[in-house]
Amino acid sequence: MSELVTAAQMRAIEQAAISSGKVTGLALMERAGQGVVQAICETWPELTIGAHGAVVLCGPGNNGGDGYVVARLLAARGWSVAVFAYGDPARLPPDARANYERWCRVGGCAPLTALDDSTFSDAAVTVDALFGTGLTRPLPSEVLNALMFASTRPNAAAPQRPPIVAVDIASGVDADSGRVIGGDEQGDELPYWPALTVTFGAAKVGHMLLPHAGDTRHKLVVAPIGVEDDIARAYLTWNVVEHLDLAAVRHIDLLGRPDISLQALELAKDVASHKFGHGHAVILSGPAGRTGAARLAARAALRVGAGLVTVAAPRDAMAENAAQLTAIMLREAEGAAALADLLRDKRLNAICLGPGLGQARARDLVPVALDATRDRDVSGVVLDADALSAFADDPVDLFTMLHDGCVLTPHAGEFARLFPDLSARLNAPAMTGPAYSKVDAARDAAERAGCTVLLKGSDTVIADETGDAAINAACYDRAAPWLATAGSGDVLAGLVTGLLARGYAPVTAAETAAWLHTEAALSFGPGLIAEDLPEELPKVFRALGV
């Protein structure tokens, strides 16, 4: 897992490093510029040989300062560099001003409005250093126009515009939410898609959220600038906290291989244990003709290591399930009384309701499952799909029944049914930064529900009542678009249930399941359907060293 930072946290970390005397702002800016040039060379190795052209667009703050460093370093490699500035360079902050003046001893600087088609004719890259983490308002129209001009081919006969390298983040995008400031309900369209984004010290939260994270051709590089040690949870130390609003000190982790690998130890089965040592998961099935979703979830729960898995089905669905289940057990549970009876067996320690369940059955059974598990030491409940939508008319009714062993796994539509106000806030155009983000929405939902919430998407966010959150980013080199297939959410619900049965804490079960789900999709590759996901887990486990 690695820590993601907000703009405020990054500023506090930099200020703390500067005020401790460990580094100067100028040195940080120099390293940032070096990081951009190095990432350009690594992304396009052909540019390391010979001299090329670059267009560098510089803004009115320190992001612009980074741009002047990049311009100077590329010129030092013999490149011909054309610099265009937005705003009055005389009003740049001190470090950026110093780098502007250094650049002026090397080359010229034209206003942004002077860009024309000939500007790009010999350029191998365009560098966007207009706005970074300091963006708080919609882009001025002059800047928006320049970015659209730099990214759009004027006509079919003209050559393509050069690829754009975003310094820190694409200008116009809010670093905390990944959203476009001044975007609209049509879906926050970015002013342009960078080919490469080079950020500093740590990825910002917004890099891992849509729409920013939504383009699979987009590469993200985190360039070290010497404050990385400070970032590793360091904003809890006194010298950083004094630069930071304490209310902002809540962790957001990016789920990643090293940390999940540590959990491989937990995923492994103990040599001395028998099946009852790994828990018993129950998946509630829907009526005849709608049983597939429950079996997908059950298969995932078994593959992820639950010792036993039982599908509990209504009478009319028994034959259909029996015809298709082997290692997974089958019990009849027609209605509320039958489920209450089944759950008297305390060995059943994780329950999944939702996939294919039907809303009427969900309304009957969810209260029973929550009641039966509330005061048990070890018991988890996963509510997905119909078990969430069934409470759209009265979400508070559901929230009063939930307990801290619960995990809700809504997609955006189900989330909107249970948390209409949070969904509306998330989907309203963002006019100021930091904008309300998917992380904020998941956190607020978890607090309101009093349990873990996993809000799905290629930028899945997991949050619990503590306010800490994690993102499973299926983007950049982990893009897994084949997960957008019927039933993959049912598999995810089963993975969470299986891990709960194995004794994982709800938030850890949700995080691990989301990560494994993406890894299974990546391991299988194109052509993936939901049935493939559980079957791919053994390969993922072997690769993890489980």
Ligand X SMILES: NC(=O)C1=CN([C@@H]2O[C@H](COP(=O)(O)OP(=O)(O)OC[C@H]3O[C@@H](n4cnc5c(N)ncnc54)[C@H](O)[C@@H]3O)[C@@H](O)[C@H]2O)[C@@H](O)CC1
Ligand Y SMILES: Nc1ncnc2c1ncn2[C@@H]1O[C@H](COP(=O)(O)OP(=O)(O)O)[C@@H](O)[C@H]1O
Residues annotated within a binding site: 62-66, 128, 132-138, 168, 171, 293, 356, 411, 456-460, 489-490
Q: Is 379 an interacting residue with respect to ligand X (CB under 6 A)?
A: no
CA Rg value for the chain? 26
Q: Which stretch binds ligand X (CB under 6 A): 138-146, 276-284, 387-395, 448-456?
A: 138-146
Judged by CB, which is closer to ligand X: 225, or 521? Answer: 225
8 A C-beta contact, residue 89 and residue 97: yes
Report the residue number, 5 or 507, with the smaller CB distance to ligand Y: 507
Per CB under 6 A, the list member of 471, 483, 522, 533 interacting with ligand Y is: 483
Q: Choose the stretch contacting ligand Y; rule: CB under 6 A; options: 262-270, 440-448, 462-470, 485-493.
A: 485-493
* Residues 429-468 contacting ligand Y, CB under 6 A: 456-458, 460
Q: How many residues bind ligand X (CB under 6 A)?
A: 29
Per the annotation, where are the binding residues for (6S)-NADPHX? 62-66, 132-138, 168, 293, 356, 411, 490
Write out the H or E segment, with its range, that includes residue 372: helix 359-373
Residue among 456, 482, 452, 479 at smallest CA distance from 467 = 452
String of contacts with ligand X for each residue 144-183, x by CB under 6 A? -----------------------xx---------------
Of 40, 33, 64, nearest to 54 by C-alpha is 40
**Per CB under 6 A, does 484 bind ligand Y?**
yes
Q: Based on CB atoms, which residue is closest to ligand Y, 307 or 487? A: 487
Q: Assess 256 for contact with ligand X (CB under 6 A).
A: no
CA separation for the pair 436, 3 (Å, rounded):
20
Q: Binding of ligand X at residue 89 (CB under 6 A)?
A: no
Stretch 376-435 residues interacting with ligand Y (CB under 6 A): 411
Interaction partner, residue 171 (ligand Y, ligand X, K ion, none; CB < 5-8 Å by kind): K ion
Site for ligand X in 198-237 (CB under 6 A): 200, 225
Give the residue with the Cβ less far from ligand Y, 33 or 292: 292
* Distance (Å, whole) CA 200 – CA 36: 9
Q: Candidates 490, 511, 519, 532: give the one binding ligand Y (CB under 6 A).
A: 490
Distant-in-sequence, close-in-space partners of 452: CB < 8 Å, separation ≥ 6: 406, 407, 408, 446, 462, 463, 464, 506, 507, 510
35 binds ligand X (CB under 6 A): no
Report how far residue 259's alpha carbon sits from residue 306's, in angstroms, rounded to the nearest whole number.
21
Span 504-533, contacts to ligand Y by CB under 6 A: 517
How far does Cα 273 stand from its chain's mean position?
A: 36
In this structure, is the dihedral angle defined by the CA atoms of residues 323, 324, 327 and 329, taken in order, positive or negative?
negative
Give the annotated binding-site residues for K(+). 63, 128, 171
Residue with the two structure tokens 């088609």: 117
Q: For K ion, what does the binding mask look like between residues 130 and 169, x meaning CB under 5 A?
A: --x---------------------------------xx--
Measured CA to CA, the distance from residue 408 to residue 380 in angstroms comes to: 11
CA distance 475 to 481: 9
- Is residue 81 within 8 A of residue 110, CB to CB? The reply is no
DSSP string over 499-538: HHHTT--HHHHHHHHHHHHHHHHHHH-TT--TTHHHHHHH
For ligand X, which is the closer residue by CB, 39 or 383? 39
Whether a cis peptide bond, with omega within 30° of 0, leads into 211 is yes
Q: Is 232 in the site for ligand Y (CB under 6 A)?
A: no
Q: 300-321: b or e for each residue (b if 16 or more CB lie within 10 Å)?
A: bbbbbbbbbbbbbbbeebbebb
Cβ neighbours, 10 Å, residue 93: 14
Nearest residue to ligand Y on Cβ basis: 489
Binding ligand X (rule: CB under 6 A), the pick from 2, 93, 544, 546 is 93
Q: Which of 5, 9, 36, 59 binds ligand X (CB under 6 A)?
A: 59
Footprint of ligand Y (CB under 6 A) = 411, 456-458, 460, 474, 480-481, 483-484, 486-490, 492, 517
Query: What is the contact surface with ligand X in residues (CB under 6 A)?
Result: 11, 14, 25, 28-29, 32, 59-66, 93, 131-140, 167-168, 200, 225
